[in-house]
Amino acid sequence: MRLTADYNFDLPEHAIAQVPAEQRDASRLLHLQRDGLVDRDFRDFAAHLPNDAILVVNDTRVIRARLHTTKPSGGAVELLVLQPTADSQVWRCLAKSSKALRKDTILTLAGSEPATKIELKVASDRDSDGSILIAFPSEVFELLESHGELPLPPYIARPEGDSPEDRERYQTLFAKESGAVAAPTAGLHFTEEVLQSLDARGIIRASVTLHVGLGTFAPVRVDSLDDIELHEERYSIPKETAELIASGRPIVAVGTTVVRALESASLGWKQVKVGPGRTSIFISPGYKFQVVDHLLTNFHLPSSTLLMLVCAFAGYEPIMSAYKHAVDAGYRFYSYGDAMLLSCQR
129 and 171 housed in the same domain: no
Claim to verify: residue 144 and residue 234 sit in the same structural domain: no
What are the angstrom distances between the C-alpha of 156 and each of 19, 62, 177, 199, 220?
A: 8, 16, 24, 34, 20
The series of mean pLDDT values per 10 residues for the chain, 346 residues long, is 92 97 97 95 97 97 95 93 92 91 92 78 88 93 93 90 94 97 97 98 97 78 92 95 98 98 98 97 97 98 96 98 98 98 95
The CATH number covering residue 124 comes to 2.40.10.240
Structurally, the chain folds into a number of domains equal to 2
Asked if 339 and 29 touch (Cβ cutoff 8 Å), the reply is yes
Question: 31 and 77 in one domain?
Answer: no
CATH for 208: 3.40.1780.10
Residues 204 and 108 in one domain: no
Confirm whether 226 is domain-assigned.
yes
Residues 232 and 125 in one domain: no
Residue 159 lies in a domain: no
Domain boundary among 119, 148, 177: 148
Residues 77 and 54 in one domain: no
Helix then strand then coil, in percent of the chain rounded to 5, is 25, 30, 45
Kindly state whether residues 107 and 24 are assigned to the same domain: no
How far are the Cα atoms of 171, 247, 309 from residue 164, in angstroms, in the given order? 12, 42, 33
Please say which residue of 116, 148, 180 terminates a domain.
148
DSSP structure string for 152-207:
--TTS--TT---HHHHHHTS-TT--EEEESS--GGGGG--HHHHHHHHHTT-EEEE
Assess whether 220 and 333 both reside in one domain.
yes
In a domain? residue 157: no
Chain-centroid distance of CA 19 in Å reads 17
In a domain, 158, yes or no: no
- In the listed set 93, 114, 148, which residue is the last one of a domain according to the structure? 148
How, if at all, do strands 106-109 and 119-122 pair?
antiparallel
Q: What is the rounded CA–CA span in Å between residue 269 and residue 156?
A: 39
Q: What is the DSSP string of 50-116?
A: -TT-EEEEE-EEE---EEEEE-TTS-EEEEEEEEE-SSTTEEEEEEE-SS---TT-EEEETT--GGG
Query: Do 95 and 209 reside in the same domain of the chain?
Result: no
Helix 316-328 and helix 305-314: axis angle, to 10°? 120
The parent domain of residue 25 ranges over 4-62+167-343
39 and 125 fall within a common domain: no
Closest CA to 344 of 325, 320, 319: 319
Inside any domain, residue 156: no
Q: Are residues 53 and 74 in the same domain?
A: no
236 lies in some domain: yes
* 203 inside domain: yes
Q: Check whether residue 174 and residue 128 sit in a common domain.
A: no
Residue 14 forms part of a structural domain: yes
Q: Which of 129, 128, 136, 113 is nearest to 67 (CA)?
A: 136
Spatial distance between the Cα atoms of 210 and 208, rounded to a whole number of angstroms? 7
Identify the H or E element spanning 32. strand 28-33
What is the four-CA torsion angle of 132, 137, 138, 144, rounded to 10 degrees? -50
Burial (Cβ within 10 Å: 0-12, 13-18, ≥19) of residue 27:
buried
CA nearest 1: which of 295, 320, 279?
A: 320
What pLDDT is recorded for position 112? 67
Strands (E), 175-293: 177-180, 204-210, 233-237, 251-254, 266-268, 271-272, 275-279
Find the radius of gyration of the CA atoms of the chain.
21
Q: Quote the distance between the C-alpha of residue 279 and its chain's center.
A: 14
